[in-house]
Amino acid sequence: MRMYDIIEKKRDGLELSKEEIEYFITEYCNNKIPDYQAAALLMAIFLKGMNERETAQLTDAMAHSGDMIDLSEIPGIKVDKHSTGGVGDKTTLILGPIVASCGIPVAKMSGRGLGHTGGTIDKLEAIPGFNTSISREEFIRNVKEIGIAIAGQTGNLAPADKKIYALRDVTATVNNISLIASSIMSKKLASGADRIVLDVKTGSGAFMKTLEDSVKLAQAMVNIGENTGRHTVAVVTEMDIPLGNAVGNSLEIIEAIETLKNRGPQDLTEVSFELAARMLELSGKGSFEYCLELVRETVESGKALKKLAELIEKQGGNTAVIDDYSVFPQAKYKLDFVAETSGYIKNMKTDTIGVASLELGAGRETKESIIDYAAGIYFNKKTGDKVEKGDVIATLYTNKEEKLSEARDLLKQAIELSESQPVKLPLILAYIDNKGVQLK
């Protein structure tokens, strides 16, 4: 088999066989195919596309390029949740304890943030002492004992994806549905879950900016899951405004705790409960409506909050954070961002807000950047809200005083006021499973 022939075949718009796809992934990972040939094939895929079968087989080959995590020691159906990334998205910290306290094991491998989107692992590490680098044995044992563990991804999870993504990033071949879907799903397949719930974000703070593209991506990932033996569903959720009021690691953990105390922001509560109910439904707990009621009861009874405390204690964290938020790292400097005129918040450029939070120190520009866990932004007002001149729209937190003015200027660019109240979009925009698409 020759790489030249595989490139030529896809260049001419023909289907690649399973053997050709596996040959490319295996030999490229073994450094036997040079970058220039791999780049040529990626460009051919970008221009000519891949069908459902090809996309599923590419994903499966990428998943098997490294460690395949075996969760069979854990009894019951293991359901994973993946978000395509957003600003203020701390749903894992809420739905994980909810689902676990309903008797469904949560064995969650999460990532770090990069760029304007945050990462679950960074947020958890804002809890003093919390260890996200536990061994595989401890990870499995914790899930068996308390029903939940959340850890960082292993270094050898889907290495083909890391190598291919780095090449796509510099060859203008990132924005292709098959390549995006295979990148995301290869890591999910390798993580060992039996079933997968996908939270596909859409809007200014998401990778996919339009509902149409988000639905296409969701459909592609659901098809991959189903074609590789993992029952998969997707929910398309709004990311034209930050989710919840808090953006930044400690701030988001506090907001997650408040949500488990049944006093979180309405939008964050709605999305978290929807995803938790979908996970329970997929695990066989009952109808979606029944599972949603179960989620509400679990939070109202305090069971979910207790499960979060168990998770924190089990992974070495200080459980005092549940009731004493002063235990979190504190910011030395803060600045109120006030409305210069009266009106309604017309829209929020959520990606720019994410960059403002990053500038304050809440995110990382490179993998080597050190995160300021206290840094971030807390919003008192969001899209659709009425503001009077002088009202505090948001408060900025940081330990780098010189970053406050830069972040404030970014917020000025991100937040637009108008005289009339805008129409707010629903938070849950679509549901996708193997039967098709249901627009909300």
- Catalytic residue numbers read 82, 161, 168, 183, 187
Question: How many CB atoms sit inside 10 A of residue 368's CB?
Answer: 6
Q: Under a CB-based contact definition with an 8 Å cutoff, are residues 27 and 3 in contact?
A: yes
Q: Under a CB-based contact definition with an 8 Å cutoff, are residues 153 and 122 in contact?
A: no
Residue 319 neighbours by CB under 8 Å, 6+ apart: 309, 312, 313
- Give φ, ψ of 109 to 5 degrees: -105, 120
Q: Under a CB-based contact definition with an 8 Å cutoff, are residues 80 and 196 in contact?
A: yes
CA 206 distance to own-chain centroid: 10
Residue 220 neighbours by CB under 8 Å, 6+ apart: 52, 55, 177, 178, 180, 181
- 207 closest CA partner among 117, 127, 270: 117
- 206 closest CA partner among 41, 86, 325: 86
| Residue that is written with structure tokens 């749903």 in the block | 91
Q: Under a CB-based contact definition with an 8 Å cutoff, are residues 256 and 75 in contact?
A: no
- 185 closest CA partner among 212, 209, 158: 158
The DSSP bridge partners found for residue 148 are: 106
The pair of structure tokens assigned to 198 is: 């996908």
Residue type (1 letter), 225: G
Strands 343-348, 79-83: pairing kind = unpaired
> Measured between alpha carbons, how far is 148 from 306 in angstroms, rounded to an integer?
12
Sign for the pseudo-dihedral over CA of 61, 66, 70, 71: negative
